[in-house]
Structure 1
Amino acid sequence: MKTKILSLVLVAGLAACSGGNPFDEGTTAEEETPGTPTDGETIGDGEGTGINRDGIPPGTVSPSPDSSLFRAEARSESETGIDAGNGYATGITYNSRNDTFTVDNIAFDGDRPYDRGTRVSSLNRGEFAVYEGPRTATDPVTGEEVDQFVYRAIYGVSRNRVRAADGTVTDVPTTQFAIVRTGSYIDYGFGGFIYQRDTDVSLPNSLQARFSGKSAGLRDYAGRAGLEYSTADVTVDVDFEDFNDGESIRGDGVKGRVFNRRVIDLNGNDITAAIASTISEDETSIPDAIFEVGPDALDNNGDLIVDIQSQSGGDVYEEGKFYAIVSGDAPDEIVGVFVLETQGTQRTRDTGGFIVYRDPAVRP
């Protein structure tokens, strides 16, 4: 069976490649509660060009610290030269009126929007919403039901608390992410991700900061079918003063950790111990993923990219990337996606979306 794998070309009706806000249709603070998606938004187009920095995913073409910014999973090829699937889906849209997700350009993911998950409706203490692709589609001529592939989507929005003059506090989302994966292919299947900030950023030139929060993601496999949920805690520390490496690439030192990692099956059962036992007889948990610290991690626009790695028994267990965007005046929060892939014969990919906060008052 020949597999193709998808990267997400998430379409922005308002933003296109202009650097605008792909999520910005009708977002209202009154409708937003912690751990719940915001109003009807189309999510990015991922077809940006003109990005010179090596490794930055496509998205906003001419980024600026004074504007919104989005990134999407880049198109890629497998070792055989066949499209690996990253970068192909279009039209990912959240509809708050009926709490559904629409995903276009993916075969056999239904003939109607994704609904809120049944057995698993949210992850990591309700911080992130889960959506399920339809199980069947209907042939309109015969009326017969056509079985669909297993697709899941995860959506996260920040909870940036704003206090009004009368003392009332509302959550106004300023960062968001979405992830789509499937477990119905022998190799990694069709899916992708997008992450964005909906405001500007102001980066200082001195002192340090710690950001803390949570993540939720999807684990898929290369070599066999299968799909699982993943959760973790995330910390990101930034030294805004050093390294001093250049004008556009700030060189700021960034370190961090993805820890307290859990794996949950599609029925909602915690299978962390079973997964850990496949790593090593001595493992009882999923190893922490640690940042590689060095210059050129953060640029003036707030794009942040670092290599990450986990180890078991002194050997590398996973390697990957931590993609993020810094947001806010302080700055206040960081949104992004990490992708960790196991090394060895049984390849597993963990794609986790996260939002981490600087203010302890809004940390989940």
Structure 2
Amino acid sequence: MVRIPTLCCIVAATTIVSAYDTTFGFDGEPQIENRTIDEIYEAALAEGGIVTVWHGGDETDQQDGLKQEFEARFPNITLNITVDVSKYHDGNIDRQLATGGVYVDSVILQTLHDYPRWDNEGALLHYLPLDFYSIQPSFREIRGAWYGVSVFGWSFLWNKNKVSEGPKEFEDVLKPEFKDKLVLTYPNDDDAVLYAFDLIMQQYGYEWFEKLLAQNPRWVRGTATPVTLLSQSNSTSAVSFTSGVGLTPPDSIGLAFPTKGLFVTWPQRAAILKDAPHPEGAKLLHNYLLSKEHQSSLSSWSVRSDVSAPGGYADLADIPSTNPNGFEGFMANRERVERLKLFFEDKIGTPQGLSPLKDDL
């Protein structure tokens, strides 16, 4: 008896692309860029002058500055950049890959564990930009499947007009003067914040967390939200350690990094999808992001080994209280991450409020 496949089976077979292990394809040799950035620009213009990027973040306007800067530097190129929480972006990237409907060119996300998986599925372009070997070696995949383009991290932040002196170590946030003044991102809503709490509590113990809860912190969604609340004169929030403003904060904001405690930094990764509709536009963007011109203008540490930190800060490799490569290992252990999320959900509840991209903070 011959079975005739139903229409739904035919549709499923023709529209869903299964993930596969590319190990034995032995086709991992990268494209090595040897053109000037002006020549890449001309190629991007000939391609249509468009590049579509999905960027991790928690405020819709966080990359407006990059869009303006890039489009001014490269006239007639349109940078379509969409900011959303990385843990939501990655699932929608998976959907594009699964259906064969890729329309995003470049992905720049906090979910570091996604990149090796996507590469194993054959989804990423192996491409070495012009300044590839200027990137810190541990921040780049050897065949150019991905590489860091910016360094993010959390610091102690406080409003100088609300407290006379901010915390310098994690024990300091337990001081009586900070009671009812702490604003913190839910650790069970953001994996980088979760990693920070894991580091702190591994070092200071669960008792530290119990004392923190006694301080009555305000829990919020999004890592940009604490900075917004610190800056509002009508808000009682004055201190945070689950956010970052780089190394050159506004005049009203104090900033410090612990020297005894461990703090979180990581290189935000970028990759070009192999089936990107505008690969030349994506290459132009990545070459620009990694250029000395752009990296020298950033207010944080650079992913390049030949660009010094601003503000007289030590190079990231010379700071013993942070390990920018540790976050990748934390993110890769998804079982442990999920167990930690449930632990904190039990202690402080599920994250409350609108997505930080939809609230008015």
The normalised TM-score by structure 2 is 0.25
Structure whose alpha-carbon radius of gyration is higher: 2
Task: Flag the structure with higher helix content.
Answer: 2
Of structures 1 and 2, the one with the larger relative CO (CA 8 A, separation 6+) is 2
The normalised TM-score by structure 1 is 0.25
